[in-house]
Amino acid sequence: MGKEAFKDGLRSGLPISLGYFAVSFSLGILMRNAGLDPLQGLVMSLLNNTSAGEASAVSIIAEGGSTWEIALSQLVINMRYFLMSAALCPHLSPSLSLPRRALIGFDVTDEVFAVLVSAPRPLDERYAYGVATVTIPGWAAGTVLGIVFGNLLPEGIVNALSLALYGMFIAVVIPPAEKDHRILAVVISSMALSLAMAAVPALAGLGSGTKTIVLTLITASLAALIWPVEEEA
Amino acid sequence: MSVYVQILVMALVTYAVRVIPLTIFRRPVKSRFIRSFLYYVPYATLSVMTFPAILQAGEGWLVGLIAFMAAIITALIKGSLPLVALVTCLTAYLSALVF
């Protein structure tokens, strides 16, 4: 092990990093449309590492929403990381110190979680650092370039690129929905309620963050009540 | 400056969610409801955020709707993420030229 574990981490992280670059580039386009500058985008992506969370925060900022709305939206949207970290915890050596655990926790994302839990147990901390070392800059660089190119490219191309992140969200949601009718029901009802809320004048004024929070809580808890998920969700 | 405050607040919330189970609260999530709820959260969130926002983002709802349908069809045929994103953008760009 030793230095090898760090290198292995870099190797596992590289494909993730390339994927992140593409996603955060399109996130950067949305940031640019929301009026954020490259430095703000850089800081946001370096500190947060979360596509849906950041996309939601960007639209709240664009609408002039409150800091409370941002905090609450991050809590709801990113709560799934709680489950991932809880699942990752038994993979760490019990003797691993608190600061090092805190370091590993910084980069728990959907994709990073997947590679960390498939590594041999107990997880070599250096493997996690290797993955983080290559994925965090990929995410941050894509964001900055998205904002910069959003400012340089012609408006028609920027408008088309501004749909890329939605395309990626669709790519995340649709294949599992095709295989699992419970997920399909969640997807369809979430979209339908989201459309309904946009169409009802009394509700249309609600911020996008509030809407995401409320509808996520409603549809995800209804699905959990109707179709509880057994072990290994 | 206030944007940086908002970025800091969101970072603190997100970090807390990630780090608490690794440090302070080191027990598995036992509640089946909570586990199930968190299992469905990403699908609900991404769906709410995508639709109808995709209709309002680019050059009008018709362009958005065409791109939306193209994305779903591509995801059904071949689920790869970059390809779906590419098709979404291309469809939006081309249909914006027409409509």
Q: Where are the domains of chain A?
A: 3-161, 180-226
Q: Is the pLDDT of residue B67 over 90?
A: yes
Query: Best of A149, A163, A165, A191 to disrupt the B interface by mutation (most B CBs within 10 Å)?
Result: A163
Average pLDDT over residues A75-85: 92
Contacts of B1 in chain A (CB under 8 A): none
- A85 touching chain B per CB within 8 A: yes
Are A167 and B84 in contact (CB < 8 Å)? yes
Where do the DSSP E strands lie in chain B?
none
Measured between CB atoms, which of A43, A49, A233 is closest to B35? A233
pLDDT band at A225 (very low <50, low <70, confident <90, very high): very high
Instruction: Give the residue numbers spanning the domain of B62.
Output: 2-98
- A50 touching chain B per CB within 8 A: yes
pLDDT at A233: 41
Structural contact between residues A49 and B15, judged by C-beta atoms closer than 8 angstroms? no
pLDDT at B59: 84
Are B72 and A61 in contact (CB < 8 Å)? no
Q: Is the pLDDT of residue B85 over 80?
A: yes
Total domain count for chain B?
Answer: 1
Instruction: Mention every residue, 6+ apart, whose C-beta is less than 8 A from residue A114.
Output: none
Q: Is the pLDDT of residue A18 over 80?
A: yes
Give the single-character DSSP code of B29.
Answer: -
Average pLDDT over residues A92-100: 94
pLDDT at B1: 56
Is this prediction's ipTM beyond 0.85?
A: yes
Q: Is the pLDDT of residue A41 over 90?
A: yes
Measured between CB atoms, which of A80, A92, A161 is closest to B38? A80
Q: For A170-216, write each residue's pLDDT tens digit.
A: 999 999 999 999 999 999 999 999 999 998 888 877 888 889 999 99
Q: For B4-57, write each residue's pLDDT tens digit.
A: 999 999 999 999 999 999 999 888 888 899 889 989 999 999 999 999 999 988
A:125-144 residues touching chain B, CB 8 A cutoff: none
Structural contact between residues A219 and A187, judged by C-beta atoms closer than 8 angstroms? no
Q: For A113-170, write each residue's pLDDT tens digit.
A: 989 998 998 999 999 999 999 999 999 999 999 999 999 999 899 999 899 889 989 9
Write down the mean pLDDT value for chain A. 93
Average pLDDT over residues A9-33: 93
Instruction: Mention every residue, 6+ apart, whose C-beta is less than 8 A from residue A5.
Output: A124, A126, A127, A130
Q: What percent of chain A lies above the pLDDT cut of 90?
A: 80
Tokens of A133: 């070392």
